[in-house]
Structure 1
Amino acid sequence: MIRVHHLNVGHGDTIVIEFLDTKRLTVIDMNRSSEFDNDTNDELINESLSKISAHEQLRYSLGMFTTADLFAKAGIKKSLTDPIQYISDLGYSSVFRFIQTHPHADHFTGMNELFSQKSVANVWCIKNNFTVDESKLSENQKADWKLLKKFRDSSSNPVDNVTVIRPYAGDKRQYLKEDSISVLSPTPELVKLAQNKDNKNIMSYVLLVKYGGHKFVFGGDAEKETWEYIVENYEDEIKNVTVLDASHHGRKSGYYQPAVKLMNPEYTIVSVGKKPSTDVSNSYRQYSKNVWSTRYKGNITFEINSDGSGTYKHQY
């Protein structure tokens, strides 16, 4: 059995995968934030108002119910999930693998605290030469970035008792086979292209997990160049997936129509806080029966049994 948890972490990504047959917990990226930023909060208020009647809008403007009530009436989950607490609530004191898809802060915020609170056996981190404007980081994010660079730049193994692994597309190592994980991206060439174009998203990990006849694709922040490579080299592998984690939080920059058409996902999950101005959820709906946002659905969990049967749930 596997359980795949898409967490409601605001504008960022955290995916938790329980490989229950091998008893290995995988965490893809980390975004740990206690609350929405002000811009996101204002955007959600306006969006909530558009979903209720004029009479209810008037009542809200007169202070007859709270903003929390407004979000509830509109079906929007205001509070965010703490990924580390969520992992503890699942009953795990350790993490088998942490996959850092690419060096953007909304994918590594809280990483240092995760490694402080949990025993982590191995970390996936591709070598690259990208920098981050530390003046824009909080003190906690600076610690996250420092730890990420330590893993990224290390020539020794292990680092602080954590094994550093750098699998590229097509890696055939046994432990990947045991958990039915395929690395679709990046390649060394894509990492070089990302650096040449100063675009971290091009080097993002894209992963495929197969279980019980189902396919899950985790798109990270991959953009056109990444998806072009995947379509050219893994066309058959990505056909007809059950769940797609939409690349780059559902933005137009992460949407590559030939790939989405091939994947034809039954479910597309968009992990997002504030709705991007370039949101292309409607484009995904041309090929996906269900396009769900963590902003509305909260935490979304898929449970798949070895015989292919399964369930899903969302937790507001």
Structure 2
Amino acid sequence: MFRLKTRAALVWALVVLCITPLSLASTLRVHFIDVGQADAILIQTPAGLNILIDAGEKRTATDLMDYLKEQGVKRLDYLIATHPHADHIGGMAEVIKSFDIANIYMPRVAHTTKTYEDLLLTIRDKGLRIHEAKAGVVLDLGEGIEARLVAPASDGYRSLNDYSAVLWLGYGRTRFLFSGDAERISESEMLASGFDLSADVLKVGHHGSNTSTTESFLRAVSPTYGVIMVGRNNRYNLPHPDVLKRLTNAGVTILRTDKHGTIVFSSDGNVLELQVERPGQVQLLTDWEWLGWAA
């Protein structure tokens, strides 16, 4: 996996930084956008492609679209709706109306909510064709990028969360796993699939709920960072203490949108840099600690 080159957490309010930024021409950027108790993740590739995984709730759609425009997004080459829950697709209809969309992927599962119905109508009205999100699908994100869906592997799940489209992405020696709300059943299927699940950055499943992130799954992924997308003072009391304990015991650096705001990783294929909107307390390994030596 990647060569860890530790940087201090970058605070967006600062103008003068004592580091040399990665070259934009060769940089992969992954934005875990703070949309409260919901998911919205923007991936920007060195080839200039934009991928959006989920779009938060309807009430945060304007903020999400403003953020996308601030990042120079005019077209979404891939739009992935991991599953039909409103905290993942609530803002997607507005996104589709506002941006050019090349490809849209969704798991083959229906939902009876107005939010889901509105999304389907918007897709129809824009003349888009839905591609099925399922394990084994490979996405073309340009030279040097590997991207494949590793879930869902089957159908007939009792929980909509287990239908979550899970994306594994590799760029050089850096790797990401975006797990949506996948729960234990889907995690066990991924483990049995034979896919490489190892990742430097794990989007922790289901907002840190105890339904996800089993010890066996965590061992297979073996992440350095775990990103939990969760709202401040949320009524679900997430992330669950047991999940935090499992992550901590595995030596994972925990990043949370409720504490750190929007979280951005940048990679040139070897070096992984981290930027957070609010610094909070982010403990990073030093080079010496990574190599197994005391600093």
Q: TM-score, normalised by structure 2?
A: 0.77
Larger Rg computed on CA atoms: 1
Identity %: 25
For 1:100 and 1:20, the matched residues in 2 are separated by: 23
For 2:142 and 2:135, the matched residues in 1 are separated by: 14
For 2:219 and 2:110, the matched residues in 1 are separated by: 33
Q: Is the 8 A contact 1:13 1:29 kept in 2?
A: yes
Compared with structure 1, are the counterparts of its residues 250 and 201 closer, same or farther at alpha carbon in structure 2 (3 Å cutoff)? same
Matched, 1:200 2:160: yes
Out of 228, 239, 242, the position equivalent to 1:270 is: 228
Q: TM-score, normalised by structure 1?
A: 0.72
The answer for the alignment partner of 1:166 in structure 2 is 132
Out of 229, 238, 246, the position equivalent to 2:197 is: 238
User: Which residue identity is paired with 1:130?
Assistant: H
Q: Is the 8 A contact 2:53 2:79 kept in 1?
A: yes
Matched, 1:185 2:151: yes
The answer for the alignment partner of 2:90 in structure 1 is 109
Out of 232, 245, 267, the position equivalent to 1:304 is: 267
Query: Which runs of 4 or more aligned residues in structure 1 lie more than 6 Å from their structure 2 counterparts after TM superposition?
Result: none
| Alpha-carbon shift at residue 147 of structure 1 (Å) | 3.5
Measured on the aligned residues, the alpha-carbon RMSD in Å equals 2.3
The size of the alignment, in residue pairs, is 246
The answer for the alignment partner of 2:56 in structure 1 is 31
Q: Is the 8 A contact 1:125 1:151 kept in 2?
A: no
| Alpha-carbon shift at residue 109 of structure 1 (Å) | 1.2
Out of 34, 37, 42, the position equivalent to 1:11 is: 37
Q: Is the 8 A contact 2:45 2:141 kept in 1?
A: no
The answer for the alignment partner of 2:118 in structure 1 is 147
For 1:7 and 1:81, the matched residues in 2 are separated by: 13
Q: Is the 8 A contact 1:7 1:13 kept in 2?
A: yes
The answer for the alignment partner of 1:62 in structure 2 is none
Q: Is the 8 A contact 2:59 2:91 kept in 1?
A: no
Gap regions ≥5 residues in structure 2: 1-26, 279-295
The answer for the alignment partner of 2:63 in structure 1 is 82
* SS of the residue 1:170 aligns to: coil
The answer for the alignment partner of 2:290 in structure 1 is none
The answer for the alignment partner of 1:229 in structure 2 is 189
Deviations 1:212-232 (A, max 9, x none): 211100010001110101111
For 1:288 and 1:33, the matched residues in 2 are separated by: 35
| Alpha-carbon shift at residue 33 of structure 1 (Å) | 6.0
